[in-house]
Amino acid sequence: MLSYSKGETHHFKMSSLTLSTSTGTLISHCDVKNTTTYLEVNNCRSSVPVEISACGGSCGTSSMYSAEKNTLMHSCSCCQEMSTSERKVEMVCPDGKKIMQSYIYIDKCGCHDSECDKNNHLD
C-alpha cells in the first residue's frame, strides 16, 4: 500500500499517460509520428520517397468524482495536429510527364479539448 503526505507530487506511468497525484490530472504524450513512403495520385508516383506525418498517442481523457458538485466530471481530449505546412514533391506519371504535387505535413501535435458524450465516449 502506498501513502503520501499532503503537498507531495508523485508521477505514475500508465501506458502512455502519466498521472500526477498532486493535481489529479493526466499528462499527455501526443507526438508527431513519421513514416516514409511513395505518394501515388491519379496513377502518378512521387519520384522519391516522402516523409508523411500523423499524430499519435494518448491524451488525458478521464472521469472523476467531484465532491463539491456531487457528480462525475468528465474530461475528454484528442491527439491532433496543432500546426501544419504544405510540402511539394515531383510526381512521375505513366506517360513520363512530370508534375508537382502538394501535400500537408504535420509539424506539431497536441491534445485538443473535446466534448464527452453521456456514455463517456468521444462524439
Q: If you write DSSP's letter for every residue of 30-57 in order, what string do you get?
A: EEEEEEEE--EETTEEESS-EEEEEEEE
Interatomic CA distance for residues 120 and 73, integer angstroms:
10
Q: Is the pLDDT of residue 62 over 60?
A: yes
> CATH number, domain at 94?
2.10.90.10
Domain assignment present for residue 50? The answer is yes
Domain assignment present for residue 122? The answer is no
Alpha carbons within 13 A on the beta-carbon side of 89: 20
pLDDT at residue 59, rounded to an integer = 86
Residues 63-111: tens digit of each pLDDT: 888 888 888 888 888 899 999 999 999 999 999 999 999 999 999 999 9
Domain count, the chain: 1
pLDDT at residue 118, rounded to an integer = 61
Question: 52 versus 10: which is more confidently predicted?
Answer: 52
The residue segments making up the domain with residue 38 are 31-114
Domain assignment present for residue 95? The answer is yes
Give the confidence band of 47 by pLDDT, cuts at 50, 70, 90. Answer: very high
What residue type is assigned to position 10 of the chain?
Answer: H
Question: 76 versus 4: which is more confidently predicted?
Answer: 76
Q: Which residues contact residue 46 at a Cβ distance below 8 angstroms, ignoring those fewer than 6 apart? A: 38, 39, 40, 89, 90, 91, 92, 101
Domain assignment present for residue 100? The answer is yes
Domain assignment present for residue 91? The answer is yes
